[in-house]
Structure 1
Amino acid sequence: MKKKNVYVLLATALISTTVMAQQKNDPAKEAAKTEVWEPVPKTVTPGNLPQDAPSDAIILFGGKNLDEWHAVNDPSKPAGWTIDDGFFTVKKGTGNIETNQKFTDYQLHLEWRIPSNITGKDQARGNSGVFLASTGPGDDGYEIQILDIYNNKTYVNGQTGSVYKQGIPLVNANKKPGEWQFFDIIWTAPRFNDDGSLKSAARVTVMLNGVLLQNNFELKGETRWIGAPAYKAHGPAGIKLQDHGDPSEPVSFRNIWIRKL
């Protein structure tokens, strides 16, 4: 073989090797191997402000009526709490209220206010709560506590933002009585086997006024005032707000919306 032909073969081999090496080490092509293009997430239009409901939210209270709620003591009756200018207030002695719709996993936004002329102390100071899955007419369910603890001492697993009697809040982020405060809650409902035994525990993340209080907390069961928490099998459930029945001034609520997850 002539030297010229040898040089040509060597040059061709060198070029081929170089091209193959370049192709093999092409960052764009390597990166493309781990790119996922489908399924495409649906588009959700956010509100103008963080507290505004996004486009896929269900409005549970928009400021005018309690059509999305009923009395827990008698589900055939509408919620009997007092509606004012863009908010509603616990009407003492009427009992808890609950959403007409039932939910499983969700993102919940809820704003609440304890009046500035609040009296009482400990747990008798603007006591209410949001039950994330209402499983009956009693207080069984999974409660996130509402209470004035801006300058009020109480047991720490019963203060605002606690998973009542289970999860102590990471911090105290409460505002003064008379100021509007807001919860943003991510709820993952428990799952149960066909025989009623627990398959996976409930989990909750709670933010108060934009501050993290519960970080994917795993619940031990339904919250109870007396006794240890325990699970009982249930499916989709309503969300309940509490009429605690205290003599102290009652709690008000506004701008409540939910997103199914």
Structure 2
Amino acid sequence: MTTETTEHLQPAGEHTARMWEQTADIRARIEQLPFLTQLADGTLDPEKFAYYIGQDTHYLDDYQRAMLLIAARAPIAEEMRFWAKSAVGAIAEEKEMHKALSTDRTLQQFDLTNVQKALPTFAYGSYLVASAATDPYPVAATSVLPCYWIFADAGRRLAAAAVVKESGADHPYATWAHAYGDEGFQSITGQAIAIVERALTDATAAERDDAMEAFRRATRLEELFWEAPMGGEDIRRVV
């Protein structure tokens, strides 16, 4: 098993450093969300996790669409290949993990096949697709970065907190926690950060400002997405 640490993935330059700093308040709240803290210590209600997995399946469909749109607009082949590979490969791996989780003893009591998309999921996915389709490339690429970076940051901390045996048998959410703490996902996230840094270096001042706002908006949507499983019917309401 890969050894994880709680060290943050570092910014790739001044622009990504600025957006990381400017979302410190949201990220501090995310670290304290009951969904994540209970997920880390293994006490999370299985129904809450099942709800999250169902919503994440919907979200991944939108995220994949967004990355394919960004790939088509990438200015250089290297970046086009990164976004396309992430859309096809990384998302496919995550969906396979969802499939495996659906047969896990913790979740098999829940039907994850007909989950309706809730409002926070709709808002987040729709925003990313819209940004990918209509915003300048530096802004669009920045809008999808929080899903990499915030997930990788949370995953690294979760994996460190989830003290498990090699089999993970003594922690109900070990598979999920370690998937996001894995060095492979951390490496992909580092590449995404570097691509966004390069895009913002070449961007106009107005595009950089819009990108900073996009990063903060998407980070806030990440927070809402992780709040939803612990909420009542109001926040879980379907579209």
Give the TM-score taking structure 1 as reference length: 0.26
Larger RCO: Structure 1 or Structure 2 (Cα < 8 Å, ≥ 6 residues apart)?
Answer: 2
Whose radius of gyration is greater, 1 or 2? 1
Bigger strand fraction: 1
Bigger helix fraction: 2
